[in-house]
Amino acid sequence: MKPIFRTTAAWLGLALLAVLSGCGEKTYVTEGDAGESSGGDAVGEDPTWPEKVPDGPIDFRKHVRPLLIINCLECHNREDAPRSGNFILETRALAMSTGSAPPAIVPGDPDKSPLITMMTLDPLHQRAMPPAPDKIWGVRLEILRRWIQEGAVWPEDVTLVHPREITEW
């Protein structure tokens, strides 16, 4: 009886996670869709929840920085890194040299980038990042994948800060 209960409980947990994770997810639109403006260009658009993958190259400051800050920096900062796999995502140099299997970002190859691997693990996997129910998927994941595919350009003068330190984007 216990194995059935565990299986049922696991399925119920997964179903609840799927429902909660999907709450508020914007429509996934890719570049080239007729009549759409490029993502992140609309006045007043939330940079942490873009409505579509932008046309043209991914801009780190405009498209990637807000996603990493809001989804990763709460745990992957210098202060909290010892409790978070020793991975620090504040600067490009730290992102490329810290964590359990550096580099976390392999420019030009998102499929070999542990950053993307951790984000695409099953939400119930103990190493899935960010932890459930805050998974990154859809437009946000595609922006990060494209940024890495395009070479993971991260200006040296850009340092990411804890989300509590953000006053405006």
Per residue in 31-76, pLDDT (tens digit) is 333 333 344 445 567 888 899 999 999 999 999 999 999 999 999 9
As beta bridge partners, residue 52 has: 29
pLDDT tops 60 at residue 91: yes
Burial of residue 96 (CB within 10 Å: 0-12, 13-18, 19+) is: middle
3-state secondary structure of 29: strand
Between 42-51, 70-79, 88-97, 101-110, the lowest mean confidence (pLDDT) is in 42-51
Residue-level pLDDT at 47: 85
Whether the full predicted model's pTM is greater than 0.75, yes or no, is no
- Buried (b) or exposed (e) across 16-30, using 16+ Cβ within 10 A? ebeeeeeeeeeeeee
Is residue 47 within 8 A of residue 59, CB to CB? The reply is no
